[in-house]
Amino acid sequence: MSVNTRDMEIVHRAFRRESRLLIELIAVVTPGDTARAAVIADHFRDYRLGLKNHHEGEDELLWPPLLSRVDLGADVILRMQAQHERVEATLTRLDALVPAWETTAGADERDTVVAILVDHRAVLLEHLDDEEATLLPLAAEYITEKEWASLGEHLVVNTPKPALLTLLGLVLEDADRAERAALLASLPAPVRAFWHVIGRPRHARHIRRVRAA
């Protein structure tokens, strides 16, 4: 029985959306509005951490077993690794640029951040599209359920709870009813309860603040 990799496509959907929204939100920040810049910069850091941990989980837990089992898939996996490096390079540039913009909310700093985010989104979309088309079918065939589940466990262990709640909310945001049910069912019962009681209202407040006009 093959592994169901649909959950990764749902996660990718959130990264696609948030990489676009970050560009749009930052582009319209009024020069000098450091309060607004701080709100969006904090959201960028959650996005950045989620993407970093998502990719590191693949680097550590997905690529090695696939390389050992799929001779004809080696080129695909090596291409995925190279794409990860390109995405990380854009994020590393943003690690320095976003705090500089956050401090002053200057127009020049803002425009530089937007330009690099545009570059970032281009390489990210190339990677996500390629991964879904060529890598996920290999994972579905050659990765075990336990190995696939370890990707989610890696993210949980390496993400502080406040950021984890934000990321879970972002992933669930555009999921349909069946997708939300499946994603939440994969979580331990105490985590599901915490999400419904604390996480969901917290996320709603966070999104209203981040996406405020």
Q: What is the CATH number of the domain that holds 77?
A: 1.20.120.520
**Identity of the residue numbered 213:** A
In a domain, 176, yes or no: yes
Mean pLDDT of all residues in 46-65: 96
Mean pLDDT of all residues in 30-47: 98
Taking the C-alpha atoms of residue 201 and residue 213, their distance in angstroms, rounded to an integer, is 20
pLDDT tens, position by position, 124-156: 999 999 999 999 999 999 999 999 999 988 998
What pTM, to 2 d.p., does this model score?
A: 0.94
Q: What is the pLDDT of residue 73?
A: 76
Number of domains in the chain: 1
In a domain, 1, yes or no: no
Chain mean pLDDT for the chain? 94
Q: Which domain holds residue 116?
A: 6-210
pLDDT tens, position by position, 6-21: 999 999 999 999 999 9
Is 80 exceeded by the pLDDT of residue 72? no
Q: 32 in the Ramachandran plot: left (φ > 0), alpha (ψ -120 to 50) or beta?
A: left
pLDDT tens, position by position, 155-188: 988 999 889 899 999 999 999 999 999 888 877 7
Mean pLDDT of all residues in 180-204: 88
In a domain, 182, yes or no: yes
In a domain, 79, yes or no: yes
**Long-range contacts, stretch 150-156, CB < 8 angstroms, 24+ apart:** 150/57, 150/61, 151/8, 151/57, 151/58, 151/61, 151/62, 152/7, 152/186, 154/53, 154/56, 154/57, 154/60, 154/61, 155/50, 155/53, 155/54, 155/57
pLDDT band at 213 (very low <50, low <70, confident <90, very high): low
In a domain, 75, yes or no: yes
Q: What is the pLDDT of residue 71?
A: 81
Interhelix angle 200-210/161-173, rounded to 10 degrees, is 80
In a domain, 205, yes or no: yes
In a domain, 131, yes or no: yes
pLDDT tens, position by position, 73-123: 789 999 999 999 999 999 999 999 999 999 999 999 999 999 999 999 999
Sequence-separated (6 or more) residues with CB below 8 Å from residue 148: 3, 5, 139
Q: What is the pLDDT of residue 1?
A: 62
In a domain, 158, yes or no: yes
Q: What is the pLDDT of residue 58?
A: 96
Taking the C-alpha atoms of residue 40 and residue 36, their distance in angstroms, rounded to an integer, is 7
Residue 24, number of CB atoms within 10 A of its CB:
11
